[in-house]
Amino acid sequence: MFQRLPKKRQLNSLVLFINFVPFVTYACSLVDVFPRFRNAKGLPAEYLHIFQWMFTTPTMIIIVSALGTSMRKSLVFNWRMTLQCILWDEFTLINGLLISFVPDPYHWIFFGLAVFGFCNTIYCIHKIVHYACKNAGTSFEVNSIKALEVDNMPSPSKLKNGGYKEERVGWRFCF
């Protein structure tokens, strides 16, 4: 926020937003502002995290799209590709939310749709990272972008109890 360069100021504002949304969500959960819902099995549904991710993951995708554009004036190199990635991410999250509220045999349909959207989201992120590496100004920028992509990819070692840990840095998944 307190930067002289406009691009850094924009990115810092986005990072502040990413940190502000979970703060508000957790504060509202603490004082029971939002109603509690039960899923199809009668267990408490974790819908607040999914709504939180609906705001934060598009912002993260915009930040990833902004990487590698240090030599350009625009914040994002290709808004069409970035918006396509955001739409696939939102598609994944919506289907992940529907999995909780649909009874047992039918939730597999939404699970399949969520996996399809997830694969397309990962593919779009890979395209964004590839383009960012190709147009990066320095080798340090290229190494940072590649490390970011590897850190955000899912792997079996990051699984715990059949799902992704919530404390994980990077992309968060809802199924």
Kindly state whether residue 174 falls inside one of the protein's structural domains.
Answer: no
The whole-number pLDDT of residue 123 equals: 92
Inter-CA distances, 11 with 52, 97, 98, Å: 19, 29, 32
User: Is 50 exceeded by the pLDDT of residue 158?
Assistant: no
- Of residues 155, 129, 126, 157, the one with CA closest to residue 141: 129
Kindly state whether residue 30 falls inside one of the protein's structural domains.
Answer: yes
Q: Are 175 and 163 in contact (CB under 8 A)?
A: yes
Kindly state whether residue 175 falls inside one of the protein's structural domains.
Answer: no
Lowest mean pLDDT among 22-36, 124-138, 144-158: 144-158
- Spatial separation of the C-alpha atoms in residues 3 and 174, rounded to whole Å: 35
What band does 5 get if pLDDT is binned at 50, 70 and 90? Answer: low
Structural domain total, the chain: 1
- Of residues 92, 85, 55, the one with CA closest to residue 77: 85
CA 137 distance to own-chain centroid: 25
Percentage of the chain lying above the pLDDT 70 cut: 74
Kindly state whether residue 70 falls inside one of the protein's structural domains.
Answer: yes
CATH of the domain at 44: 1.20.1070.10
Kindly state whether residue 157 falls inside one of the protein's structural domains.
Answer: yes
Kindly state whether residue 148 falls inside one of the protein's structural domains.
Answer: yes
Instruction: Output the six-digit token pair for 36.
Output: 């509690």
Kindly state whether residue 170 falls inside one of the protein's structural domains.
Answer: no
Instruction: Output the six-digit token pair for 152.
Output: 């955000």
Kindly state whether residue 171 falls inside one of the protein's structural domains.
Answer: no
| pLDDT, tens only, 17-56 | 888 888 888 888 888 888 888 877 788 877 888 888 898 8
- Spatial separation of the C-alpha atoms in residues 25 and 39, rounded to whole Å: 20
- Can you give the residue range of the structural domain that contains 59? 6-164
| pLDDT, tens only, 50-96 | 888 898 899 888 888 887 666 666 777 788 999 999 999 999 999 98
